[in-house]
Structure 1
Amino acid sequence: MMGVALPSIRADLGLSTSSLQWVVSAYVLGYGGFVLLGGRASDLLGRRRMFLLWLTVFLLFSGLGGLATDGWMLVVARFVTGVAAAFMTPAGLSIITTTFAEGPQRNRALLVYAGIAAGGFSLGMVTGGLLTSIDWRWVFFAPVIMAALILAAAVRLVPRDTPATSAAGGYDLQGTLSLTGAMLLLVYSVVMLPDVSAGQTAATAAAGVALLVLFVTIERRSRTPLLRLGLLRSAPLLRANLGALLLLAGFFGFQFIAVLYLQEFRGWSELQTGLALMILGLDAILAPTLTPVLVRRFGNGRVIVAGLALSAVAYALFLRVGADWTYAAMLPTFLLLSTAFALAYGPLTIAATDGVAEHEQGVAGGVLTTSFQFGAALGLAVVTAVVVGRSGTDGAGLDAFRTALLVPLAAAALGILVTASGLRRRGTTSAPAEAVLERT
């Protein structure tokens, strides 16, 4: 919901452009930096416990963001809500994957989950526009109300689980610190890409990679590793996570371009922008209804490739964007993109958690969430850098938008190549569709 609210936040709090960027980046930094730790914590300390605890933290600090009277208060609130999401999201996903047995039943549950999540991505921008037209602070207060309702329901409905606190060897503190430091530095390098020199970006990225190497070394020697390295040797899981990264990189990069075009270039209001993008919310309907039928008929892999292919077509159509485009001219891209996201998001979630032992579902969910979040940050950072680099003294123009659109288009094309390679490995088969679904 932040996307369309940022101009109003800047005007009310008197923030500079660089300070405003941290309203988004602080959340991404907290989320991306701690999500793998959050996934492991849910496996070790209890999924229900982590979900309820960090949902409460999310609720409190989202409310604090709405009460902020200065930029630093808002940035701190956003960072802590990002950390809360980093612990809460993999816990929530692993509650689903451990409640339902692997196979068609879990797949159906995950597709419903993915439909709601996909709707959140798309409807968030629409809702943000509607709330900002009232007061930008409602962008923070509305999640407080939603989180309170979820918390009340979760206390009664989420099943209790047994924390693995008796695991021999402790909690791999060295691995935790090195991985968290690595993720923070790598995400920081990405989110700051448009605003710092290439040398500074290279330095922070190199430090992050060095900590990542240290983490791998520690995990190889640890009796109770934070992340079992064998999990990362699975080619299907790697393809699913890379596909997830590229899907979100393209989707968030495109959303940013669309908002700039509608608000900054065309002069549309937050409410008009939100209503224009409302059609993207169709994925919340398509994901739990159309996608399961297609997955049962054609298999997970083919549906993922089809979704990424549709997103590539959607981005390519928007390359013709004009100064006086009607909404009818934009509509094909929005319709294709909502369908593409509905087809790819859920099956990628299934593929990234299939075949993973129950005691590692939290970690698998954390890895997937990292891929989603890092992809969103990367797509946003690269698109921002292109728009800024191509903008003139009067701001971003059509040439800047068209050049930036090549970024999500390239991400979709790479996603097709990565995920389609799994289809080639499997080869053609005459197995029944349900059996294909079981293997995916």
Structure 2
Amino acid sequence: MTMTQAPPATLSPQVKSALLALLVGGIAAILDSTMVTLAIHTLVVRLHSSTGAIQWVTTGFLLAMAAAIPITGWAERRWGGKRVWMAALLLFLLASVLCAVAWNDASLIGFRVLQGFGAGLIFPLMQTLAVRAAGGRVSSSLMAAVSLPIALGPILGPVFGGLILNWLSWRWLFLVNVPVIAVGLLLAWQHLPADRPAAGAGRGRLDWLGLGLLAPALAGILLGLSQLSADGGISHARVLVPLLAGTALLAAFIAWALRPGDREPIVDIRLLRLRSLGTASAVLFTAGAAMYAAMFLLPLYYQQLRGNSVLDAGLLLIPQGVGALAARFLVGKLVDRLGARAVTIGAFLLTTAATVPFALAGPDTSQWWLATVLLIRGLGIGAVLIPPMSVAYQDIEPGGIPHATMNTRIVQQVGASFGTAIVAVVLQSLIEHGATDAFRSAFWWAIGISAIAVVPAVALPAKQPRVDALS
């Protein structure tokens, strides 16, 4: 396939309608995954449980989500993207209702695992189907739209979660999904293009061995990283065992996926040899780490160091959401004019600089100053995902779109867990020596992660991403 330069593309009304359907359907899953983290203490009290047990409400969701990602490419080929998308929304809807009526901690954890599996199908499909709807025309405008929930979810989730926990029962954290997903299903039925496989088309076999290696590998790595801040650190068995097992399984999957032959692995990592996808995936790994490291710290900073309530902490983070939203209207034009490399490096540097004030702040630092800094930081994190996501598809044939999406989603998910684990370890290890110094050290680590993220961004192509149809 030959790459060509094309002028910036505008999204057609049909593509905009499809994007609206995808965004409405996907926003519930994105917000839900961040809202529930605020409710840990509430769930401990209401369900008469322990913090250790209730943490699995979040951990189980994340592990199930990671395990589901590799299935999306095969499912799309087998049944068609539109049908799989609607089935994933229905699964998430059912799981949300079940979570809302959970009677104890064990039932809630089980239903959250089901919900996480649905979310694991939704996130990569949202990206794949957006590219499909655009006929393979991968533009910065398209990526700005499809990545909007991914950027805003961790920022707006605490706001909505805080409002619900302050005024309503915790069960509404899940019930609010019902009308949103219902609208998303209706829009998907009306506006997503039909892509049912032809009657005589080969649908391929599921790579059971690859799935059996990759799904538990991702779950093990994410589980180990999530436990890293516990007492004992990396030497603790509950950290070391899943990390080593996950790494070994991942190595086995890589060896299996790289074996010569005409079979199609569950996730085609051979595509990472392409510069476009390989460099974009490296950037998305560091972007996930940089974004989520500070996002983990910010709500805790306001609650533990400044004494704000959950609701107040969520409201104080609104400027970051405003900045991230504003970046969506600017970054597409910047990428078209300056190229993916310059915009990504600039976004990382802006994010890094806007995080420094939190490493210097204390309990009495001006709220207005921090709000201004958060607005600027939101501009940085709102812009950082779009250029690499646009670049990722440049050299990909149409049949490789789902594999490219799964590769980028997996590395971003692992990167987010990696960044969060690092700052959580720093914070946990220093908190007993004083909250102010502990948060300052943790923020400096988050700053370091953002600065290091510039390194792989240098390898991105300097020219604007191609927006012509894939052929």
Same fold (TM over 0.5): yes
Spell out, residue by residue over 1:107-144, the C-alpha distance to the aligned partner (whole angstroms, 9 max, x if none).
Answer: 32221222343223321221111111113222211122
Q: Distance in 2 between the 1:163 and 1:92 partners? A: 19
State how far apart, in whole Å, the 2-side matches of 1:56 and 1:214 are: 34
Decide whether the 8 Å contact of 2:140 with 2:336 is kept in 1.
no
Call closer, same or farther: CA 1:20–1:324 in 2, change over 3 Å. Answer: farther
Quote the Cα distance in structure 1 between the aligned partners of 2:105 and 2:352.
37
Is the counterpart of residue 183 in structure 1 residue 218 in structure 2? yes
CA positional deviation for 1:166: 4.2
Question: Partners in 2 of 1:91 and 1:318 — Cα distance?
Answer: 36
Contact kept in structure 1, 2:154 and 2:295, CA below 8 Å? no
Aligned ranges 1:394-433 → 2 under 5 Å: 397-422=435-460
Shift >4 Å, 4+ stretches: none
Moved more, 95-104 or 146-155: 95-104
Letter in 1 for 2:143: L
The gaps in structure 1 that reach 5 residues or longer are 427-434
Whole-Å Cα distance in 2 between the matches of residues 317 and 181 of structure 1?
39
Rounded Cα–Cα distance in structure 2 between residues aligned with 1:156 and 1:67:
31
Q: Secondary structure at the match of 2:459?
A: helix
Change (3 A) 1:242 1:14: farther
Partner of 2:155: 122
More helix by share: 1
Structure 1 vs Structure 2: percent identity of aligned residues?
25
- Secondary structure of the equivalent of 1:226? coil
Aligned partners of 1:286 and 1:163: how far apart in 2?
A: 39
Provide the rounded CA distance (Å) in 2 between the counterparts of 1:232 and 1:194: 31
User: What secondary structure, in the 3-state scheme, does the structure 1 residue paired with 2:465 have?
Assistant: helix
Check 1:256–1:107 CA distance in 2 against 1; reply closer, same or farther (3 A cut): closer
TM-score by length of 1: 0.90
Residues 265 and 10 (structure 1), Cα distance of their counterparts in 2 relative to 1, 3 Å cut: farther
With normalisation by structure 2, the TM-score equals: 0.84
How far the C-alpha of 1:102 sits from its partner, in A, is 4.1
1:378 aligns with 2:414: no
Question: 1:32, 1:184 within 8 Å by CA — same for their partners in 2?
Answer: yes
1:97 alignment partner, one of 105, 128, 131: 131
Per the TM alignment, residue 59 of structure 1 is displaced from its structure 2 partner at its CA by 1.0
Superposition map of 1:118-197 within 5 A? 118-135=151-168, 136-163=170-197, 166-167=201-202, 170-195=205-230, 197=232
- How far does the alpha carbon of each residue in 1:24-70 deviate from its partner, in whole angstroms, 9 at most, with x for none? 21111111222122234224432112111111111111222222232
- One-letter identity of the residue aligned with 1:437: P
CA deviation vs aligned residue, 1:289-341 (integer Å, no higher than 9, x gap): 11111111111221111111111111212111112122113123311211001
Give the equivalent residue in structure 2 for 1:48.
82
2:17 maps to none
Partner-residue secondary structure (3-state), 1:353: coil
Deviates further, 211-220 or 291-300 = 211-220
Q: Could you tell me whether the CA contact under 8 Å between 1:115 and 1:286 is conserved in 2?
A: no
Aligned CA distance change for structure 1 residues 7 and 402 (closer, same or farther; 3 Å): same
Of 239, 261, 283, the residue aligned with 2:301 is 261
The Cα of 1:221 is off from its aligned counterpart by 4.4
**What CA distance in whole angstroms lies between the structure 1 residues aligned with 2:447 and 2:386?**
21
Cα RMSD (Å): 2.3
Output the amino acid matched with 1:170. R
After TM superposition, give the deviation of residue 172 of structure 1 in Å: 1.8
- Give, in angstroms, the shift of residue 208 of structure 1: 1.6
Say if 1:342 and 1:72 are closer, same or farther in 2 by CA, change over 3 A: same
Equivalent runs, 1:30-45 vs 2, <5 Å: 30-45=64-79
Counterpart pick for 1:345 among 385, 409, 429: 385
